[in-house]
Structure 1
């Protein structure tokens, strides 16, 4: 998850004094995981640490924190939540002149008033320079977080109803770096999510060569001809995943046409069509939920494999 320095800077620029609240430890059951965070400013907030009662109580007081605060909250006895666990939380208040900086992709700061960095924390910073994974935690009174990095390049081709539903569903998820392509500026909605890169292009297929070869692609343009050309270009370029919106009959036609363009059956089978979960229906939001679920399941499988091999 990590510390999203860009989101914090945007919030401070827009709202002035901003509090950031992060879960740094859990005992028992909790509505969110370690590293979950929210930003709070006068009259608003973004993000979530889960648990309406916990957020409500914190939002009333966090802007009054002088600088940093480490606190523990028993969710049942203290807040009446049914989770029954307890969470450790770090609260920090930022303004334009107190925005944090990172060292080797890590943000580290004392939360107990200490001015001397412990040897253990110094070693973690050294390990980070060598590419070691940094977990969000408090170590000997010092709070350590890796800077947030998007881990998955997602290219969405088409800004129609389904494209809009997909982008709005997936954009808030921190792991995706979303690039959104269509044929002209007026194809896009007025309000594109902040972290989404919008690319209007008269010939979208010409952009395929600029996509990372580990990118994931969702093809859902208004034109079957453009969909086909995108499939053709992606099979030539390579990708991590490619999903095409359409019926089984559309896919049967595309398979024949892609074969005629020189692609083998093994190559063509790498494209997933139809996308979504047919049980959920064909409403744009239903398709977005189905596609999002498939992408998240895939990432959980990869993460579990990496944990098992570590």
Structure 2
């Protein structure tokens, strides 16, 4: 795959990467100026010559991805014994971060809070799937990075999300909320799960989930009530801001971790957050 095709593919999937370009060459070097390599957290595309130079470039690029920097960077390398290469020349590499890390978020429910929350999430570096069985509940205009999903079988949409996704459940039906909760907790690979409702609703759900065989450790990862307690108010937009704040806090805490881990990182994140008083729904 060419470097430009790789960039397009990564942009389409919302995967951040670093474009590495040789911008200066002196003496003998493995590749000429203008040669490029694309580095993501999982793969590299094309080459700037291989060897230890390429390894160091890949290492720097992934450190930039880990730190989420958006600043370009220049590095000069002497291709001698210290770098483990015998070319004897020198090269200057330009590192350019491309794209923003994107969270994948599924929002179930197009009620008042959902309609207030979606515009906030759409302004963040994320991809949103907004799911409801009621076509009439969706507004006429929806942001480009929000996918509207009208489905009679909304529970099936849980499996359509990639590993490490964020789930927010606020439907009009408590039984549907319970079925969605069971499907999400069963996956165990979510980065965040928030359920709108009161502490009483949580207790009832936990009782029913225990009857289905869910452990206390898994249920602890569910945020219900959801949202940041510091953000007060009961207006839909106030609740939406509180939920978005909690999602952002979780996103910043887990960036760079392996989202498909089942080690219970979501539980430790939840412990860092104060208990919410969001009890609507």
| TM-score, length basis structure 2 | 0.60
Could you say which structure has the greater relative contact order, defined with CA pairs below 8 angstroms and 6 or more residues apart? 2
Residue ranges of structure 1 left out of the alignment (5+ in a row): 7-103, 110-115
| Deviation string, structure 1 residues 197-229 (Cα, Å, up to 9, x no partner) | 111111100111212231110100111111111
| Match of residue 172 from structure 1 | 123
| Deviation string, structure 1 residues 143-200 (Cα, Å, up to 9, x no partner) | 86333144311111111111111111111112x1111111132221111111111111
Q: 2:242 aligned to 290, 298, 301, which one? A: 290
**Displacement of 1:288 after TM fit?**
1.5
| Match of residue 136 from structure 2 | 186
Instruction: Return the alpha-carbon distance in structure 2 between the equivalents of residues 105 and 267 of structure 1.
Output: 33
| Deviation string, structure 1 residues 51-72 (Cα, Å, up to 9, x no partner) | xxxxxxxxxxxxxxxxxxxxxx
| Match of residue 136 from structure 1 | 71
Contact 2:19–2:36 (CA<8 Å) still a contact in 1?
no
Corresponding position: 1:195 with 2:145: yes
**Displacement of 1:142 after TM fit?**
9.9
Instruction: Return the alpha-carbon distance in structure 2 between the equivalents of residues 210 and 188 of structure 1.
Output: 20
Instruction: Return the alpha-carbon distance in structure 1 between the equivalents of residues 35 and 243 of structure 2.
Output: 38
Corresponding position: 1:118 with 2:53: no
| TM-score, length basis structure 1 | 0.55
Instruction: Return the alpha-carbon distance in structure 2 between the equivalents of residues 148 and 177 of structure 1.
Output: 13
Residue ranges of structure 2 left out of the alignment (5+ in a row): 1-6, 9-15, 27-31, 46-57, 65-69, 76-91, 259-281
Corresponding position: 1:157 with 2:108: yes
Instruction: Return the alpha-carbon distance in structure 2 between the equivalents of residues 261 and 302 of structure 1.
Output: 29
